[in-house]
Structure 1
Amino acid sequence: MSGFMDKLKYFIGIDDLDLDDEYEYYDEYELEELPANTRTKRLNNNVVNIHTAGNMKLVVHEPLSYEDAPKIVDDLKIRKTVVVNLEQLEPNIKRQIFDFINGGLYSLEGNIQKVTKDIFILAPSNVEIDGNIRDELKNKGVFNW
């Protein structure tokens, strides 16, 4: 009841209301801070188990229109390596398809390598393109027999 009287006195202006009396006090503890220079390491594991490598596929696409571009990116999304031949296309359509494929490849963190002027190898993030294929073709030719 005294709490009510104190509040009434405060409301009328006779007494100051001290709200701190109603709270319990606890001991303060200091928290240990972790070092700010802790880094997480992102591992890019390109190693493929030899037993799972049998289900990897290489697909060859020769698009004839811009509508064929999503099919190429769809193959990359399911982790297929793609060879794209753009030789049959007009330059403006060729550029549009290349831009679409390149955007999809970037978002999937894939790799691209130019074989000739209009032929490219596109690899998903789990496949690493090693070496320069253009130099290999110049040195050894297409058929090495």
Structure 2
Amino acid sequence: MSDLMNKFKYFIGIDDYDEEENESEEQYQDESFDMPIATKTRNINNKVVNIHTNTNMKIIVHEPLSYEEAPSIVNDLKSRKVIIINFEQLDSNLKRQIFDFMNGALYAMEGKIQKVTKDIFILAPSNVEIDGLKDELKSKGIFPW
């Protein structure tokens, strides 16, 4: 700031400008202050969850016997719980109705579904990633479930 005042005084003719004093100040400033170089960072959408977090993940097993149980299953999905649903005890018409209801709810919540067997499915909310290892093994012909 004083350097600016000295230059201004010299410009209007009030004071003599001292070159030697100005050079030593500029050298001192150049030695001590280096501007950091900005680096680009990428924001990677990673769904890896730290296993040491304090949040409790729950997996709920549902074996619905009637269509009236479907909303309670969706409520568990809305509270971000992983659901394993077993349709083995249902007739095909009721199974289709509940399955369609679950698929609509999963679509609305951007959830995921994975078939385990003919009548058992895993339903996961959007914050849970279902590993696609089974799909990879099936495509390679190792385990054709």
Could you tell me the TM-score, scaled by structure 1's length?
A: 0.59
Which residue of 2 is the match for residue 125 of structure 1? 126
Q: Distance in 2 between matches of 1:94 and 1:53?
A: 36
Cα shift readout 1:107-134 (whole Å, capped 9, x = no counterpart): 1101000001110000110100003448
Segments of structure 1 that go 5 or more residues without pairing to the other structure are 1-41, 140-145
Q: Distance in 2 between matches of 1:66 and 1:58?
A: 21
Segments of structure 2 that go 5 or more residues without pairing to the other structure are 1-42
Which residue of 1 is the match for residue 107 of structure 2? 106
Which residue of 2 is the match for residue 83 of structure 1? 84
Cα shift readout 1:64-93 (whole Å, capped 9, x = no counterpart): 000000111110100000000001001111
Supply the AA of the counterpart residue of 1:88. Answer: Q
Which residue of 2 is the match for residue 115 of structure 1? 116
| SS of the residue 1:83 aligns to | strand
Which residue of 2 is the match for residue 143 of structure 1? none
Q: Distance in 1 between matches of 2:89 and 2:82?
A: 21
Supply the AA of the counterpart residue of 2:60. Answer: V
Which residue of 1 is the match for residue 61 of structure 2? 60
| SS of the residue 2:83 aligns to | strand
1:22-101 paired onto structure 2 within 5 Å: 44-52=45-53, 54-101=55-102
Could you tell me the TM-score, scaled by structure 2's length?
A: 0.59
Q: Distance in 1 between matches of 2:99 and 2:46?
A: 28
Seen in structure 2, the aligned counterparts of structure 1 residues 116 and 131 have a Cα distance that, compared at 3 Å, is: same
Q: Distance in 1 between matches of 2:101 and 2:70?
A: 7
Q: Percent identity?
A: 68
| Structure in which a larger fraction of residues adopt helix | 2
Q: Distance in 2 between matches of 1:98 and 1:43?
A: 34
Runs of 4+ in 1 over 6 A off after TM superposition: none
| SS of the residue 1:50 aligns to | coil
Supply the AA of the counterpart residue of 1:46. Answer: K
- Cα-Cα RMSD: 2.6
Alpha-carbon contact 1:115-1:133 (below 8 Å) kept: no
Alpha-carbon contact 1:86-1:118 (below 8 Å) kept: yes
Matched positions, count: 98
